[in-house]
Structure 1
């Protein structure tokens, strides 16, 4: 296990590995946060790299160790080296990291809910503990109007000014959420440095100068790497958050509608978002706006370990 940032060469090798897996599976094996944490100077995460005799990275796992009661992980094995025990070995290392704290559980994401991932999890004695829906909307179809609550005004996010206020409201809005509610100032700044970041698509809702909520949009140049048949550029409702004191006003639906209007004005024909399958309130809101379920990611709990020959795990 390695804490802290990977060196540039190793981080590049991991990204290359993820790209090969994406091309083979039509779904990205690592989500945005693990990729950002590859070179983050102080990530609440540890890295495990599996290398062959030539030093090539053929497997990678990352464990989010920022929570006290669970470790959330993602892993990927080179398509040409699968079914050789590398995945089991990575899983074993992840289990060891989780066991450092007595009672802490291991949970592993499988993006796209692919049959091979299901089989791997089943062989390891793992079961589904969470499901994340990917929902899609046709932006060219008419959408119902969702007016803002009385007295609420919306403006774009101002970098260098609004970070802390936004982060406080985000933490309150997602206090229940295992990932979003833990977003730090470093996490926010890392996203501001990404090529896709556009403050014009990051809208803040205020009343009498107090921040009530926000909608943050993102544009993907291509939707390739997914298994739902879409390859054109796509917009995303990246984050919609409403302060608990402002909930019940219809602000979440109104902000989502404004985010969709922004994406449509950019000439995009479709939009996506992610939401937990257990969040029935959000799903009802998004369904009323026209979203439908397109695919799902699943998180598995429990695990086992194995040990392939000829492969080295860096620690």
Structure 2
């Protein structure tokens, strides 16, 4: 985002984008992410951007020569308000494009607005303050070297690990995910369609989706879903994508065992030497768990709200 000079770019609004326009927006996002050290769009936005049926408002800014200089995605699927993310081409900043896109977001919103600023950049913070947004939530990205020693997973008695089975485990996993993240504003609301979309992603690997199962009953007690990020020109990095434990199994060390088992998978089976994860600043118990096993803060992502 930028709050400098008035823009000379043309901002347009559309309910759908053509495939070529989607590719152009994704290319812009990669350029912005490379320049800023943090990708401007989260996975939810990227999945919806590539889905022509997902309800959304697309705002695009173009220079006089037709170059895409900025893009904003407005998610209109939540009746409680809209979610928004935007990116500006690194070569076309400080000309008001971010401000013009942000005003377009506000014009498209019919209720409260939630906007992520990935990387917590000062220009985004300045624009948010100028437009009346308040800083509502911080998501930390933590990182850990996998070259450092890993503690051996210590599973509770009667609990075993196995890989996720697409199709067979979907319903039970979704129910567990809902229980584990009942208070989470995004993760706890996953639907079968949300799960299917991710199982269809090129990065999905069932061997890296570890389930903790009560051996006697087969009941799912927890899970560690890992992910590997691979992008040309960038080092491969693993991710603790989602880690959850059934509330009934809290306090027995299952979360720590699942964490270390997933890290060992990323190191030994996938050959990685670095891993990251995202955790809410307010989730102090999870932050403490991760820091105890060697994670450190890398950067922050801030959610701003208006209304």
Q: TM-score, normalised by structure 1?
A: 0.85
Q: Deviations over 1:70-106 (max 9, x none)?
A: 32211112222223222222212222333x2xxx321
Q: Which has the higher contact order (CA 8 A, sep 6+)?
A: 1
Contact 1:222 1:233 in 2 (8 A): yes
Q: Aligned match of 1:118 in 121, 125, 135?
A: 125
Q: Distance in 1 between matches of 2:182 and 2:74?
A: 21
Q: Confirm or deny that 1:57 pairs with 2:75.
A: no
1:227 aligned partner? none
| Aligned pairs (5 A) from 1:151-300 | 151-207=158-214, 208-221=217-230, 231-265=234-268, 266-300=270-304
Q: Unpaired runs of 5+ in structure 1? A: 225-230, 304-315
Contact 1:223 1:234 in 2 (8 A): no
* Cα deviation, residue 252, structure 1: 1.4
* Cα deviation, residue 283, structure 1: 0.5
Q: Deviations over 1:210-252 (max 9, x none)?
A: 111110001112597xxxxxx5321111000112222222221
* Cα deviation, residue 2, structure 1: 4.2
* Cα deviation, residue 53, structure 1: 4.1
| Aligned pairs (5 A) from 1:35-50 | 35-43=46-54, 45-50=56-61
* Cα deviation, residue 27, structure 1: 2.0
Contact 2:140 2:279 in 1 (8 A): yes
2:83 aligned partner? 72
Q: Distance in 2 between matches of 1:270 and 1:180?
A: 24
Partner of 2:235, secondary structure, is coil
Q: Aligned match of 2:157 in 140, 144, 150?
A: 150
Partner of 1:38, secondary structure, is helix
Contact 1:171 1:181 in 2 (8 A): yes
Count of residue pairs brought into register by the alignment: 292
Q: Distance in 1 between matches of 2:74 and 2:221?
A: 33
Q: Unpaired runs of 5+ in structure 2? A: 1-12
Higher mean C-alpha displacement, 162-171 vs 64-73: 64-73
Higher mean C-alpha displacement, 53-62 vs 124-133: 53-62
Partner of 1:132, secondary structure, is strand
Q: Confirm or deny that 1:8 pairs with 2:10.
A: no
Q: Distance in 1 between matches of 2:175 and 2:54?
A: 20
Q: Distance in 1 between matches of 2:232 and 2:256?
A: 25
Q: Distance in 2 between matches of 1:211 and 1:80?
A: 50
1:311 aligned partner? none
Alpha carbons of structure 1 residues 88 and 201: separation in structure 2 relative to 1, 3 Å: same
* Cα deviation, residue 116, structure 1: 2.2
Q: Distance in 2 between matches of 1:222 and 1:39?
A: 18
Q: Confirm or deny that 1:137 pairs with 2:140.
A: no
